[in-house]
Structure 1
Amino acid sequence: MIILKFNVSILLLLICAPWNVHSLYNHRKNNRLEIGMTMVKNTTAKAFGAYCLDGSLPAYHISRGFGSGASNWILQFEGGGWCNDVESCLGRSNTRRGSTHYMTKVEIFNGILSNNISQNPDFYNWNRIKLRYCDGASFAGNSKFDNGTSLMYFRGQKIWQAIIFDLLPKGLANAEKALLSGCSAGGLATFLHCDNFTKFLPRNATVKCLSDAGFFMDIPDIANENTSRTFYNNLITLQGVEQNLDKNCTSTLEDPKLCFFPQHLLGFIKTPFFILNTAYDVYQLNHILVPPSADPRGPWNHCKLNISTCTPSQIQTLQDFRENMFEALYSFYKHSTSGGMFINSCFAHCQSEGWNTWLAEDSPIVHNKTIAEAVGDWYFERNVTKLMDCPYPCNNSCQNLIPA
């Protein structure tokens, strides 16, 4: 009798549930929390014009909160680089980075998305959302490419809005606490959308933002070329990003496109913000500081794969990069009363999504705090948390996860 009642309840839930049935796939396997994909409703996507590069529907993964965290929300942008020309975007549209057709339908929630209290004590019972990335412009574009042969949607801004509107009736509209987060290109998206996020939530909600490995620097490469600025300028133009950049920033700077860089945008963000980054971010080492175009003969190849093989002059270049980052963060460090920081001296990229770097016995530590402890102290205002590490190689808690 009990078994029959249970089965009927499940059947009714499958028939009546307003979200994709894949979202019911939410259980632990081999001690891993696996969360099924939820597609944005077709009507919502159509209303916003929110489509992945190839025209497929956007998606996210949701793990429901419980207990004291039932009214609290973490939204995390997925990362995965960018595309800044038609050729690279067309290639991307046929992969998981540009189409939900190719994405894994189940994602493992770890680190800050874990529901294990021992691994994620401050956020384990919150509603935890992962926004899948399929536009190639950090959820910020609003354009379309159609040459009669190929059609691509550059609709990251619309994807962001459509997912929010999909989540509002599921409880986000009544959030008491909220944290917008993201890693890499998703970390950059957090800078771009932080203040906008607050506008969707109740006035009395506690809303804050966390960028992990998203503080991409506006600096020349080792050949003194503005490789990163050129790359992002092309991206902004192709995908129609400029119209969605912070208006206070774009009206202030001589070149509005610079507002895509966190160091130029940061001073205009009003929402409390936490910056989690390594001082030697390996993605930036490989693509901004020493891109292939600046190292055609490859003297940096070994150094980029194994720091112990770097020459003294290469180490000095890395230390100069660290100093440039600290200079870019100086005003935020000195003057922000609501901001937080955890800048360690590890050679890694993204540290909030994995249990081993978020909160484990051997996780990276700065001033005797793990990343999870530092973020929790900042969010809940238990402590002023602005931690900046000493230069490499002083921190022996680093796992130096190379390459990225």
Structure 2
Amino acid sequence: MEMILFVQITILQLALCSTVPTISNRADLNNTIIKTELTNVTTENRTQNEAKALKKVYLSNRTITCNDGSQSGFYLRRSHLSKKWIVFLEGGWYCYDHPSCQNRWVKQRHYMTSSQWPETRDVGGILSPNQEENPFWWNANHVFIPYCTSDSWSGTRIERNEGGMFNFMGSLIVQQVIRDLIPLGLENSTDVLLAGSSAGGTGVMLNLDLIQEILHDKMGLKHIAVRGVSDSGWFLDRIPFSTGGKLNMSAIEKGMDIWRGNIPDACKIEHPNEPWKCYFGYKLYPTLKAPLFLFQWLFDEAQMDADNVGAPVTKQQWDYIHKMGNAIRKSFKNVSAVFAPSCISHSVLTKRDWLQVKIDGVSIAEALHCWETIPIRKYNHNNNMKRSRNHHHKEPKIVPRQVKRIDNEETRKIRRRKHRGNRKPKIKKNRKNCGIKLKCHQLKHQQQSNFSPFDHNRSERSAHHNQKQHQRRPSHCHHRRLEKCSWPQCNRSCPKLHNPYTGEEMDFIELLKSFGLDMESVAHALGIDMQTLISMDHTELLNLLTQQAS
């Protein structure tokens, strides 16, 4: 009996010892637990990212395809928190005849087929679900339509072209996407923002009124407000810098024929003999009915490419580019809502750093949101264009005397309001804020000093104040933001330029020298010596140049 008991105790001890980990076993166990937790976190993050990702959806009408006949579609991220929808058209230039389309098929096939489309897409900027990156539309319903038709979203050619390889159905894809989105929740929406960059920006202008017609007239969804935002899709038909280059308008004219391009009827009526001109924003814009917001770099790289000017390193190139910027600026005279920084770049809406682009302290996102808050019933496209032609200022009409006598009380009210608006601030209110080190007359001088567009602290305060005003009175938003300075890259928020030969970031003085400028003459014109100019801070120099330019 004692022997049996001893054996049982021994077996129990061995069993207990085998379950208690040694020091090395404990370390292995801890590592296993940590790896398991990290795996769980990684899996959880991957699941969250997948939930936030734009998911691929093919069109219900499978006869509407990409260039090569592959199935077309879109990427969708639904939001149950918002009734706003953003439908984005991807950019990517175009091809206009058999050789250019064949070359595109060899070098840029992803713009002509859906065969390599992933199941999900992650797009930044205005389509980002991250609130810090996209503060105004992070929770909207997001739709991204990949570009696979090479026709600036205008084509209606179902059959193959003469070469027998490609069809062009860009406009048909846009229309079908809208129809497919209706049962997915679009019918219950309040706002649709049709957006696009580059060729997609041109596609926005070409399809905006058509989408409004489909939703309002054909579908009876008149409660949906339709707006558009065109990013870097506003091109000019200029004579190219290089004589060997092909004229931009010639390519568009050829392209419209093989695409069987669908352009707005109103623009077609304006240009019956040259309908291809409707691909240029400054010709198309005056005929649009739906509201459009325009973003355009004054020195757009795609325009420079179309003009065959190349990477600017010589004085001749800079002279041409400077004239190009002036021409683009002048083409905005009829545009009621525009944001145009003086930078050399291309597209912005889906870039991760899009909030960094500012004019006078106001970002493109803030300006676009401010414009979007105005009810469309208050938006009158023709009246806005008239105000734009007159630079937003009209001389007050002389009121006849008999009308003055009739409206005498109203006239007095207007006079009183103007008098209140012209009152100078009382210095007494500010004396209590005068410190020992800051005398009151210095504070008064600061209050009367001129505003500098590069004074960030003051600009940010002004932008914050204006944002509150916009929330209360959105109709008072300032929609025309054109860079005051005409120098390329004079805006501090411009994307950095790099020397095309060395790849290094260009210093501002080096950039000015590449313009072909004699820096001693610049110093003399600014009223400073050469040493001061060379050692001057970038911000100070920009301020001086801006003041000289204005």
Helix, strand or coil for the counterpart of 1:200? helix
Q: Which amino acid aligns with 1:283?
A: A
Offset of residue 27 of structure 1 = 4.1
User: Are 1:63 and 2:77 an aligned pair?
Assistant: yes
1:347 maps to which residue? 344
- Are residues 1:145 and 2:160 paired? yes
Cα distance change on mapping 1:152 and 1:64 into 2, 3 Å: same
Partner of 1:238: 258
- Measured against aligned partners, the alpha-carbon deviations of 1:240-265 in whole angstroms (never above 9, x if no partner) come to 11xx2111111222411111111110
Partner of 2:367: 374
Q: What amino acid is the match of 1:319? A: H
Q: CA deviation at 1:323?
A: 1.0
Residue in structure 2 matched with residue 221 of structure 1 by the alignment: 240
Say whether the 8 Å CA contact 2:88–2:144 is kept in structure 1.
Answer: yes
In structure 1, the residue matched to 2:87 is 75
Question: Could you tell me which amino acid in structure 1 is paired with residue 478 of structure 2?
Answer: V
In the alignment, structure 1 residue 385 sits paired with structure 2 residue 402? no
Q: Contact 1:93–1:99 at 8 Å: present in 2 too?
A: no
Distance 1:354 1:204, change over 3 A: same
Letter in 2 for 1:263: Y
Distance across 1 between alignment mates of 2:197 and 2:76: 17
Say if 1:75 and 1:131, in contact at 8 Å, map to a contact too: yes
1:6 match: none
Q: Quick one: higher RCO (CA 8 Å, sep 6+), 1 or 2?
A: 1
1:346 is matched by which residue type in structure 2?
C
Asked if 1 retains the 8 angstrom alpha-carbon contact of 2:209 and 2:264, the reply is: no
The one-letter code sitting in structure 1 at the alignment partner of 2:342 is S
Does structure 2 retain, via aligned residues, the 8 Å contact 1:38–1:62?
Answer: yes
- CA offsets per residue over residues 20-47 of structure 1, 9 Å max, x none? xxxxx98427xx9532321112xx233x
Deviations 1:79-100 (A, max 9, x none): 1110111233245457211110
> Identity percentage over the alignment?
26
Aligned to 2:490: 394
Q: Structure 1 residues 93 and 39 mapped into 2: Cα distance closer, same or farther (>3 Å)?
A: farther
- Give the match for residue 144 of structure 2: 130
- Alignment-derived partner of residue 86 in structure 1: 98
**Which structure has the bigger radius of gyration?**
2
1:171-250 aligned within 5 A? 171-201=185-215, 202-223=221-242, 227-241=247-261, 244-250=262-268
Match in the other structure for 2:331: 328
* Aligned length in residues: 341
Classify 1:33/1:277 alpha carbon distance in 2 versus 1 (closer, same or farther; 3 Å): farther
Distance 2:179 2:146 in 1: 15
| 1:164–1:35 distance in 2 versus 1, CA, 3 Å | same
Q: Which residue of 2 aligns with 1:316?
A: 319
Whole-angstrom CA distance in 1 between matches of 2:208 and 2:352: 25
Greater mean alpha carbon deviation, residues 180-189 or residues 94-103? 94-103
Distance (whole Å) between structure 2 residues aligned to residue 280 and residue 140 of structure 1: 25
The separation in 2 between residues aligned to 1:173 and 1:141, in whole angstroms, is 26
Q: From 145, 169, 172, give the equivalent of 2:183.
A: 169
Letter in 2 for 1:229: M
Deviations 1:278-316 (A, max 9, x none): 001111112x2225xxxxxxxx54x2xxxxxx3333322
TM, length-normalised to structure 2:
0.59
Please identify which structure carries the higher helix content. Answer: 2
Q: Which residue of 2 aligns with 1:154?
A: 168
Q: Which runs of 5+ in 2 are unaligned?
A: 1-45, 216-220, 375-473, 501-550
1:153-191 Cα distance to aligned partner (Å, 9 max, x none): 212222122212211111112220110000111011001
Tell me, yes or no, if the aligned pair for 2:52 and 2:77 is still in contact at 8 Å. no
1:22-61 paired onto structure 2 within 5 Å: 27-28=48-49, 34-41=53-60, 44-46=61-63, 50-61=64-75
1:12 is matched with none
Tell me the equivalent position of 2:433. Answer: none
Superposed CA offset, 1:43-89 (max 9, x none):
x233xxx111111111111111232x1x2100000111101112332
Q: CA deviation at 1:203?
A: 1.3
* CA offset digits 1:297-340 (Å, max 9, x no partner): xxx54x2xxxxxx33333222111011111211122xxx3xxx2
The answer as to 2:128 corresponding to 1:114 is yes
Q: Hey, what does 2:429 align to over in structure 1?
A: none
Moved more, 322-331 or 248-257: 248-257
1:232 partner letter: I
Unaligned stretches of 5+ residues in structure 1: 1-24, 292-299, 304-309
Give the residue type in structure 2 aligned to 1:379: E
- Other structure's SS at 1:76 match: strand
CA 1:53–1:369: 2 relative to 1, 3 Å: same
1:275 aligns with 2:294: yes
Q: Residues 180-235 of structure 1: CA distance to partner in whole angstroms, max 9, x if unpaired?
A: 00011101100101111112332122221000111011211124776100111111
Question: Residue 346 of structure 1: CA displacement?
Answer: 1.5
Counterpart-to-counterpart distance in 1, 2:119 and 2:178: 20
